[in-house]
Amino acid sequence: MLEVILDTETTGLSTTEKHRIVEIGCIELSNQIPTNKIFHQYINPQRDVSEDAYKVHGYSNKFLSDKKTFSEISEDFLDFIKDKKIVIHNAPFDLSFLNYELRLINAKVLDKKNIIDTLEIARAKYPGSQNSLDALCKRFNINNSKREKHSALIDCELLKEVYI
């Protein structure tokens, strides 16, 4: 079975405020074994990054200004995830942004039935405990020292270890 570990970084917390994706990271697994296929893109969100989001990931408006837009990378992204289960930590957040971007370019949105939400799994398995990605790394003795700031690809690497 092919799966994709997926994470995004954004300009803010809500699509209702027209916040957009600035980074997508994906790591492919085959029967929970990494295939060494990755998809990674920084994205020009065509709007300013909020101060709070900048504090989380460190991607400035200047850094993102010369990157491709979501519409320019969407075909490659959709090809990468096609016919695969998608593994996301806190899926409603990332899905809301991905589907917002897909609607903006009149593309088919992602179906929740193809999504595995590791936050949901962790909450069921460890009720009442901290279940953030950092907390899960600590619980499973996964080294997350590379994670000074959020990065979609680093977060995918960590989530891959947590998930497996």
- Active site residue ranges: 150
The candidate with the shortest Cα–Cα distance to 70, out of 17, 24, 116, 6, is: 24
Task: Name residues whose C-beta falls within 8 Å of residue 45's C-beta, 6 or more positions apart in sequence.
Answer: 10, 11, 19, 20, 21, 22, 64, 70
Q: What phi and psi values does residue 129 have, to the nearest 5 degrees?
A: -100, 165
| Cα–Cα distance for residue pair 137/160, rounded to 1 Å | 11
